[in-house]
Amino acid sequence: MQHFREKVDRGSKCATCWLPPTACMCESLKEQQVSAASVDVVVAMHYKEYGKMANTAKLVREILPDSQLLVHPTESGSVSNAIARTTSHTVLLWPGESSIPARDYRASAEQPGHITMLALDGTWRQVKSMARQYSGLPRVHITDELLAQGAARPHLRSEVREHGACTAEAIAIALKALGEPQCSTPILNAIEELNAAAARGDLGARSRMKYQTLHSQHSDPGRRLE
């Protein structure tokens, strides 16, 4: 992890939010910090995502100060240890045949009150490979209905799947479904703030061009959720 941190520190970006100093979101993120009462969030981030300005998982780390962000595969052992140490039930936020809606999982009387949710961060190809390492965990997913209700659109990246969500968005909506609605809105608003920075060109001309190309149909990138 230290290697990745030093890589960011040597650059011209904030070591925490990975944005240029003129677009630093750290103060805004601190003002929105919240705590989840019954869900612990652990994010396993693919190493190629670390330090990217458009990455959204970093927002979760700052909004939820009790969450953990660990780099895969460098800290895969730390992820496994974090899961092993917890006394709560652990689930993997992941779609698929064996996955059930997050709200249904929480509604089950057989499940304990406290949950540790592991989320994977990277491109779809990267996280599919990562998910195989945690194949023994029960899986939950967000439904298209909840995605439509809570979506922080638009994104900085195109989605492989029609109803895909960025990492932070998926976590925010899953937290709401698992009974932590107070955590959802600050995360979604942080995504909106990052989107707005890209639309203004604060993340560079390339990000602005990509944003405009992918999401020209959206006219209000800076809206906030209430």
Residues 34-50 pLDDT 10s: 999 999 999 999 999 99
> Is residue 209 pLDDT above 90, yes or no?
no
In a domain, 225, yes or no: no
In a domain, 220, yes or no: no
What is the distance of C-alpha 179 from the center of its chain?
17
Residue 216's pLDDT is 57
Q: How far apart are CA 97 and CA 163, in angstroms?
A: 16
In a domain, 224, yes or no: no
**Into how many domains does the chain fold?**
1
- Stretch 93-103: mean pLDDT: 90
Determine the structural domain holding residue 75 and report its residue range: 2-214
Helices (H), strands (E): how many in the chain?
Answer: 10, 6
Residue 82's pLDDT is 81
DSSP state of 65: T
What's the CA angle centered on 159, arms 158 and 160, to 5 degrees? Answer: 125
Q: How far apart are CA 197 and CA 52, in angstroms?
A: 14
In the block, residue with structure tokens 């989605």: 159
> Is residue 190 pLDDT above 90, yes or no?
yes
In a domain, 122, yes or no: yes
DSSP state of 221: T
In a domain, 223, yes or no: no
Contact 90, 9 (CB under 8 A): no
Q: φ and ψ at 48, to 5 degrees?
A: -75, -15
In a domain, 8, yes or no: yes
In a domain, 221, yes or no: no
**Model confidence, pTM:** 0.84
In a domain, 222, yes or no: no
Poorest-confidence range of 14-28, 146-160, 175-189, 203-217? 146-160
DSSP state of 41: E
Residue 141 corresponds to which amino acid? H
